[in-house]
Every structure is written in C-alpha cells, then in structure tokens.
Structure 1
Amino acid sequence: MPRAAALALLLASATACANDVPEANLERGLLPGHITTQAGVVQSLWNGAWIAALATGFVVIALIVWACIFHTKRKAKAELPPQVRYNLPIEMLYTLVPLVMVSVFFFFTARDSEVLTAESKNPDVTVKVEAFQWSWRFTTTVQGKQTTPVTGLPVSDYHQGPQLVLPVKKKVRFELNSDDVIHSFWVPEMLFKRDIIPGIPKDSPGRFFEVDTLDRPGVYAGRCAELCGVDHSRMLFSVKLVPQDEFDRYLASNQAGSAQ
C-alpha cells in the first residue's frame, strides 16, 4: 500500500497540470467551441474514430455474449462444441476485416494530417512564439511590421499571463522557438498542440503550424502541455480574438518597427 500511494503521488505531481481551463468548456472529452477551422477537422476525425470504436466494441461484445449463450454446457456430461480448424472463410474474415479497418483509419488520419500541417506562402499574421522556463514571449508581424514583444512570468491564472492578440477570420502562422528545454504550445480551443524542441533547424516543418481563426471573439486559455520543470503548471497565457478594427488599433498602439 505505501508503494501504491507513493506511485499515485508521483504520477499526480509529475503531470503538474494547472486547473485553468474552465470546466464549462469541457464537454464530451473535447471542446465544442473551437476557434479555428483546423479544429473542426480534428473534431470530425475524433467523432469518426469514436463511432468506429463503439461499433467495433458492440460487435465484439455481441460475439462474446453469443458464444456464452450458445456454447454453455447443457448436459450433465461435458461435451465440447464442434472444433473448427482451417476454415478458410473465417480466417479470411478475421484477417481482412481488421485490415480494412486499419486502412480506413490510416486514410482519414493521413488526409486530416495534411490539412493540419499545410502551410501557405503569405499568411495574414505571423506570430513568433518563444517558450522559456517558465513563460512565453509573443512577437506579432503583420505586413512586415512587428509589434512590441509581449513577455510574461509564471502565473497562477491565465488571465495574468502574457496575452496574444489575434484577429478573427485570418490565417495565422506560428513560429515556435525554445532555447532551454522541450515545451508544448497548447490552446485547448484549437484542438491542437505542438512540441517546441530546442535545436530543430529554423526551416524544419516541426517549428511551424498555421490556423484559420473563426469569427468567435473572446479570451481563451493557453498553456504549456509538456512537463518542463518546477513551474510548468504556471506557464500560462491567453489568446484574445478580436474583430479586425480592434486588432488594427492594437497594432497601431504596440508597433515596434519593421521585421528583420
């Protein structure tokens, strides 16, 4: 028992997760109020996977119940049911059906992965995301003009962390950087996260991703999703989606100069 308690404590502390995401946003295991077009793709893939998994589970349970009912000993003297060997139709069935299922899963996963990792030549907004122990620095570039970097400190509430301001209905490119340890950029309402690994070449696809924001203004929680040290749970930030006119005013008041 002491060992089990110690292990449970270790697992709980190792996750070091903050309780910053409102419970009202967590429904059915995913966030239905997503804020990007790409999040809708993830939601559809998730729903399809669950439907397929539930259908498979129903068939398996039905076969188990059928075997239990129709192959129960009904006589005092034990009798084995007929033993079937080298039944080609059955062997083809339990070989081809899983193969078809895996192929279907692979097809939809590969198709949606292409959508989620697609990059454009001219995104509307580019955000340089710099992760460090234990906060974030955001630098936004629009049409060659940069904003003053927004830098944060470890906090207990995402409202107190650095805030990234983005316009609605625009294509946003994130460039991820880290100079110390592995972090992970995660905004739950995007239904997507990506690790920020030090030492990856600047032109590596693993350092970039793009989203198309939806017309859903509001403030959304963000956090690091990779255990990165003692203050990992306080590595919080927020994303504020605003209409274009409000974003223009934000750029005018926070403009730093031309991008290098």
Structure 2
Amino acid sequence: MMKGLKKWRLFSILAALTVFLSACGKEQLSTLTPAGEVGKEQLDLMILSTGIMVLVIVVVIAIYAIAIVKFRRSKVGENHMPKQVEGSHTLEIIWTIIPIILLLILAVPTVVSTYNLADVKGMTAKDQEGNAKNLTVNVTAKLYWWEFEYPDLGVVTSQELVVPTGEKVYFNIKASDVKHSFWVPAIGGKLDANTDNLNTFYLTFDEKSEGLEDGVFYGKCAELCGPSHALMDFKVKSMDRDSFNTWVDSMKATGEETASAEGATASQGQELFEASCMSCHAVSGAGSGGGIAPNLTTFGDRNRVAGFLPHDEENIKAWINDPQYFKPGNKMPQPETINNGKKFTDEELSALAEYLLGLSVEK
C-alpha cells in the first residue's frame, strides 16, 4: 500500500513540474529562445556554466557511489580500515588544479563577453553630416511604467519600445524615483536603472516581433521596486528599418498638438481628457521625455492596459475608475482627485475609453 502511495506522489510531483515548465520556451519572453546577439551569447554562457556544474556533480556522485559500494561493511568486514590518504601531495595538487582549470574555463569567456557587451563606443559615432550613425534610446523607469525617448529623432513614447531589426540599438538607462532594472528576456541584457548614475549598453533584435503570439517581445523590471513591481511590464515591437522609419515619421507628424477625436462619444472623451488628464499625460509623440505620466500617443496601438490588463474598453474603464486597486502604489490619481471630487460616470468612462482607443499612429 505504501509503495503505491509513493508512486502516486512521484507522479504528482512530475505532473506539477510539467505544468510549471510548460511556460518555458515562449519566444516572446524566454531566455531559452533568444532572438538577439546578446541573448544568444548569454545563453551560451549559461550552457557552459551549467555544463561545468553538472560535470562536477556527476564526478562527486560517482566517487561517493564507488566509496559506498566498494567499502560497504558486508564486503570488507567490521574491522577493515581503508588506506589513509591524509597529507597526500598528489591528491592535494589534483583537487587544487582541477577547480582552477574549471574556473578559468568559466571566467575567461565570461569576462571577454562582459567587456564586449559593455562596448558602447558606437553610441557617439557620427556620419559625415554629423548625424548619429546608430539608434540611441533613453530609457527612464518610473513607478510603475517605462518611458522611451529617441533623442536623435525627436520622438518619445511610453510602455512600448519600438526598434529596428538587424542593427545595434544603444540604451541609456536611468530611474526617476527608486531603483529598477531593465530586462527583455528573449533579447538579453538586464541592466540596473539607478537614480544617481546612467548605465549604458546595447542590444540587437534579430527577429521581427509581428510573428509572435502577441506581436511583441515582453520586457520586465527585474529589481524589486515596490508593491506593484510584478506588474511593471513593457512591450517591444521590432520591425525592419523601413517600417521603423515610417513609425518615426508618424510619431513626428503628431506634432505638439492634442490628438483630434472622431465621433460624438470620442469628442466628449477628448473634452474630459483635456480637462482632467492633459496636465499629466501627453498625446503627441514629438518632443522629449520627462513626463510625469505615460505618453499616450500610441495608446490605441498597444495590446495591454497599464502594462498587464487586456486592451479593451472594459479594462480601460476599470483602470481609470480605480488605478490603485490594480496597481497599488502607482502615481495615477483616483478619479475624485481630478474630477471635482466625483467619480466618473459610466457614460464618461465610455467616452474616455473610446477617445483613448482612437489614439494611434499605426492604424
């Protein structure tokens, strides 16, 4: 009976592990399916280090098993004393030299890779006309959202990083409030965003994101930064250079003006937005960063509300009506604060949602 129970326990554990591991390997968010040069190099280092660790474990287990089998009491008797090796210079040399060799095998490629990935000289490279040769993005992490500014292009956006494929993209990483960490698992990297210094590195995006399950790669904050840390996501859209240039032109075309709304309900939403939300949110992709709230120019092109909710009218309304319920600690005010002490009515929420869904540069 007990043997049967033990078998079922083992089966349950294996089943649970199968469910747990079923999420591994998704192209849009897994380090095990890298889609960029940096991610592939980091995966190679992970495989190397894992291989060394497995080798050490196998050797230790093998020695342990041999000792148990060879010197078991039933075989050698009660009074057998194995040969003592204390003070053996040969053994001491062996177990000193082997770890040194293993550490060198691991350390040399790791150090070389670290220095290569930290090479950001291309960030300041200029062509003959004085224009930047490579794309640079200023990333600012905030509670609990991300701002992406393209200083050489005069474009700024939030929550969705848009990049060209097949070239190095350089990043300046910083935080505006507390420490965060910028990470796109499928692309590589993971670099701290600090409030007191600027960190720089580069990534390459080898594949277009449009063929992925959600049409984007997923980015994360990898540093515990507050009660809504787990919900501090961003998305990455990678596209060919021509499509990226078109996107930049569309962002610039929004100018410094408020986006216009089509339809009576959307017009009502625009009026409410300008009265209650415009002091914090921008609806133009042209300009520079530094906003106190996410830029909403491309809100209609996103696939998530607040970074994690499904992108539909009901979730937009729920988010506006009570942002603290969904993301505790975020800096978006409750509706009473910006609407003369009152909650928005359902009609007003619907109008705001329709207006926001109409903010697009891709449709």
Same fold per superposition (TM over 0.5): yes
After superposition, give the CA deviation of every residue in 1:211-249 in whole Å (9 maximum; x if it has no partner).
Answer: 222133331111211111122122111000011121111
Tell me the residue number matched to 1:150. Answer: 157
The 2-side partners of 1:234 and 1:112 are apart by: 31
Percent identity of paired positions between Structure 1 and Structure 2: 26
1:146 counterpart letter in structure 2: G
The 2-side partners of 1:119 and 1:236 are apart by: 25
Larger radius of gyration: 2
Tell me the residue number matched to 2:56. Answer: 56
When the two chains are superposed, the root-mean-square deviation of aligned CA atoms in Å is 2.3
- Structure 1 residue matching 2:172: 3-state secondary structure: strand
Unaligned 5+ segments in structure 2 are 1-21, 126-132, 211-215, 253-285, 290-363
Tell me the residue number matched to 1:225. Answer: 222
Is this contact kept in 1: 2:208–2:237, CA < 8 A?
no
1:77 aligns with 2:68: no
Distance 1:209 1:85, change over 3 A: same
Distance 1:246 1:86, change over 3 A: same
Of 246, 249, 252, 1:249 maps to: 246
1:211 aligns with 2:203: yes
Is this contact kept in 2: 1:168–1:217, CA < 8 A?
no
Is this contact kept in 1: 2:188–2:203, CA < 8 A?
no
After superposition, give the CA deviation of every residue in 1:144-201 in whole Å (9 maximum; x if it has no partner).
Answer: 3221x213xxxxxxxxxx211111112101111212100011111123201111111x
Aligned residues: 219
- Structure 1 residue matching 2:121: 3-state secondary structure: coil
Per-residue deviation, 1:92 = 0.7
Q: TM-score, normalised by structure 2?
A: 0.56
1:67 aligns with 2:77: no
1:168 counterpart letter in structure 2: T
Distance 1:85 1:76, change over 3 A: closer
Q: Which of structures 1 and 2 has the larger relative contact order (alpha carbons within 8 angstroms, sep 6+)?
A: 1
Tell me the residue number matched to 1:135. Answer: 145
Q: TM-score, normalised by structure 1?
A: 0.77
The 2-side partners of 1:85 and 1:232 are apart by: 53
- Structure 1 residue matching 2:55: 3-state secondary structure: helix
The 2-side partners of 1:176 and 1:77 are apart by: 67
Distance 1:71 1:30, change over 3 A: farther
- Structure 1 residue matching 2:186: 3-state secondary structure: helix
Higher relative strand content: 1
